[in-house]
Amino acid sequence: MDIWSVCEPAPDRVGPNEDLVVSGPDFVVVLDGATAPKGIESGCVHSVAWLVARLGTQLALPLLGRSEAPLADLLADAITAARGEHADTCDLANPESPSSTVAMVRVGDEQVEHLVLADSPIVLRAPDRQVTVVADNRVDLLPEYTFEAVRRLRNQPGGFWVASTEPKAAYEAVAGTTERTAIELIALLTDGASRYSERYGHPWEDLVDTLATAGPQTLIDKVRRYDADAPAGTFRGKRHDDATAVLCRLLRRR
């Protein structure tokens, strides 16, 4: 698998990039930490970037070791391990505990596995150029987006799920498998890059074509220009965000 990635902090970022890419010969993991609102007490002495790094490490170890466990099991184990690292110092029952989205792919001889938790989508392109978007859009279906509503519905049935302190969230992810021969390219994106399609309306086919022909940096540069020009009030969330774009090209097996 040929992997091409860019992981870039937001232009107005103060502090470390809260996105992370971890990859190996047959896998890619993309994480996007949820930036805590100012003045909110998380009950945790650690940063969002700290959690993202711990989750990335705990996911990379079994994947590099060629674990055959389902991706959801690997994610649940990673959340459990990260939880154990700060259970003695932090209030893990606080719903504002640091959290992260997760997008994972693992390429086998016959099948490609995928997992998406929260708003970091995966796009699969077939040899005939047909595109399939694997997305977890539950955060877009919330009845309201007040601080209180989001807090109440985070990692709850009928709400949305993220990787934080609850291992059971791993089993709420959107996961599946696809025949390897049915996939030519895979894109993994945090919402700082996927907004090219999700916020600014470009077809997903265009997004993948941009990645395949010009590369991840070009896609992110285009998004940055749209972000800067977008009129206030025309979008939900932050104007700028950390952005990660990964393109995987599946090589022909010998």
Residue 253 binned pLDDT confidence (cut-offs 50, 70, 90): low
The rounded percent of the chain whose pLDDT value lies above 70 is 99
What ranges make up the beta strands (E) of 108-232?
A: 111-117, 122-125, 131-134, 174-179, 185-189
User: Is pTM beyond 0.85 here?
Assistant: yes
Q: What pLDDT does 125 receive? A: 98
DSSP state of 86: H
Give me the domains of the chain, ranges plus CATH numbers.
2-230+238-249 (3.60.40.10)
User: pLDDT digits over 38-68, tens only?
Assistant: 878 999 999 999 999 999 999 999 999 999 9
139 alpha-carbon distance from chain centroid: 13
Q: What is the pLDDT of residues 89-145, one digit of tens each?
A: 999 999 999 999 999 999 999 999 999 999 999 999 999 999 999 999 999 999 888
Q: 125: helix, coil or strand? A: strand
d(CA 193, CA 220): 6
